[in-house]
Chains A and B, each alone.
Chain A
């Protein structure tokens, strides 16, 4: 069984598709210096960032080539780990 006391990795679970791919690229761009793990499952990606995960909509938009809002992210994000904080420009996933 997984150890619940291990160092916590946080981040979104994204449905496979265009937005999911862009979110992976954006998180890698915006969280440099943190350990990042991408787990691929049949229908979703689990993106895990050590300690805290920052997801900036502008970066996702740059990857996609179009404007992105929090609602676009939510529509492709069926789950996440961590405590979420949503604002106009970004989502943060906190470990505590």
Chain B
């Protein structure tokens, strides 16, 4: 018997709307959970899945994906890749697995709410698959990360980090809470799928897989792309939602959601992917710089997609271009000099060869960020290790939770974005983080950064107070990943000169 084609039965099979008789529609879909933006339900129900798949086919496909990824892992388990990996790559793996794995469960929760409170059957259907996808992503990454635990206790933080008040999870949770958990289903769907997934997951899961493959870490490379094959599908929820919003006079609202979510996630990925690609990936295995990958995947692909969708490029696009050249370089300095506040073993990534690479990829790097590293390097060479750790805490942005850092070296320029509200001064790393705050001060004003918590007494006093608050025992405080041996490269140069 001939099988019906999917398009002949699909719409009928996933038609789960009905006219309620025991409750009102606004009780089924209360606005705080399911904002209709005053667009009639008949318009929302025009949502047509761009990416159609049956549940039966979905289950078969996901099983095959898991079989493939886990098979590669099993086959390569005896190769002792991790044991032989450089401290560079171990730092990258630690940073990835201890921040990305649990973040996937945030997305799972967000999609689950969409599958209940989405305004149309098609959206709810896609979100159901999205929920299952994200559960898989959380599980596979926690599992793959925990495999390293027998070699390195740092990987305990694959899950632990999510439960701590370490400054990095505070920063990441604030961003994810903002776009995934504290918005209604329609809003969260646009912010998560367009502002986050269509823009940045490609960076960490496809672009980084190229570096992983060059590095010979085929287990990690396969896992990354396996995850992204799901993301590429369920992220398409955003397309029909934005089209419906634009067609019904709500372009401005949709634009704002994308602008906010995109910037919030850019800040997170500039550190995660930026430091990972430009400092933690061994130089001989780098496919491209963060800037080049951003040009391919975000400035190029995402930018073209946003415009084709009927939206405008975010208003701060020019500022983004500048940020791509600078923000993660400044954050890398902070991650290294405040290394005890990290749970992994940070890498400086500024040996003579690496500095040459950075200068080539980011012309002017030596005259700016390089000047800071000159001081750090000289102090290490002289054995003055205590001088490489600043005696005062950094200023942290009250939006992204990352360090406020201006231009340095010959291109010195201070950053001064702050505002006073209800007797409290808020500091921001950029005009865009400040703009997001000013758009909805009531939403953001109650949050406290790690530095706020130090100053208001939430963090216990004493030399170990901050570490105890952040869940870091003495053994869980970051130290130089190479025990400063990378400085030998400079010694060789000096000896040759002498």
Chain A interface residues toward B at CB < 8 A: 1-2, 4-6, 8, 13, 15, 41-44, 69-72, 74-89, 95-96
Contacts and interface: CB of A to CB of B under 8 A. Distances in A.
B52 A75 contact: no
Contacts of B202: 78-79
Contacts of A81: 301, 304-305
B385 interface: no
Contacts of A87: 5-7, 52
List 5 A-B pairs, minimum CB-CB distance, nearest first: A71-B61, A2-B300, A78-B228, A4-B303, A43-B213
B228 A43 contact: no
B470 to A, nearest CB: 34
Nearest to A4: B303
Interface stretch (B231-239, B420-428, B450-458): B231-239
Given A42-B213, A79-B232, A79-B297, 18 more contacts: A1-B295, A2-B296, A4-B307, A43-B221, A44-B206, A44-B209, A44-B210, A71-B57, A72-B61, A75-B226, A75-B229, A76-B229, A78-B231, A80-B232, A81-B305, A82-B305, A83-B50, A87-B6
A18 B7 CA distance: 28
A94 B296 CA distance: 19
Interface of B: 5-7, 50-53, 57-58, 60-61, 64-65, 68, 202, 205-206, 209-214, 221, 224-226, 228-229, 231-233, 236, 239, 287, 295-297, 299-301, 303-305, 307-309, 313, 321
A4 B304 contact: yes
A43 B210 contact: yes
Contact of B299 (A2, A77, A83): A2
A65 to B, nearest CB: 19
A80 B226 CA distance: 14
Nearest to B211: A42
Contact of A1 (B226, B287, B308, B321): B321
Contacts of A15: 225
